[in-house]
Amino acid sequence: MALLQLTYASQPFGFNGPSLAGILLDARRCNTRDGITGALICRDDLFLQMLEGPEDKVEATLHRITKDDRHLDVRPLSRKVISDTGRLFPNWAMRDDPAQTWVWSRADINDGAIDRATETDVIAIFERLAGNPA
């Protein structure tokens, strides 16, 4: 079955522990219901997320995220069709990970790294995360 793998970046609004916990709780509940897997890399200046699942469900999820006031400046970064065996996070309704130093620095983001990132650059970040045990 063909699925959609989509990544986006956004800027968190009101980022703190309870806000992040709420986002993850909502994501895991909805993603489990909708057959979506993925990961959220996060810190107070960056959300970088990958969603993998049925195209209509992934598109609906992205639409909800763009309307969520906890996300500012939602920017899709990559979109590709994958097979079910092509999921990077097949066992995760939503893996979360604090943004590590191998993700863009704050200075990089302020200097436009997200705008310059290629689809390959973004997917490589998630491939690296998928290779690290939780």
The tens digit of pLDDT for each residue in 75-110 reads 999 999 999 899 999 999 999 988 776 688 889 999
Q: Which of 55, 80, 51 is closest to 65 using CA atoms? A: 51
CA distance 6 to 76: 7
Global confidence as pTM? 0.91
Identify the DSSP state of 8. E
| pLDDT at 93 (0 to 100) | 94
CA distance 107 to 3: 34
Identify the DSSP state of 14. S
The domain containing residue 67 runs over which residues?
2-130
Give me the percent of the chain exceeding a pLDDT of 70. Answer: 97
| pLDDT at 115 (0 to 100) | 92
Q: Which long-range contacts (CB under 8 A, 24 or more apart) does 108-114 make?
A: 109/45, 109/46, 114/9, 114/75, 114/77
Q: Give how far Cα 85 sits from Cα of 89, 94, 106, 114, Å.
A: 10, 17, 34, 28
The tens digit of pLDDT for each residue in 22-79 reads 889 999 999 999 999 999 998 888 999 999 999 999 999 999 999 988 889 999 999 9
Q: Is the pLDDT of residue 134 over 70?
A: no
The domain tally of the chain equals 1
The more confident residue out of 120 and 2 is 120
| pLDDT at 101 (0 to 100) | 67
**What CATH number should be reported for the domain holding residue 82?**
3.30.70.100
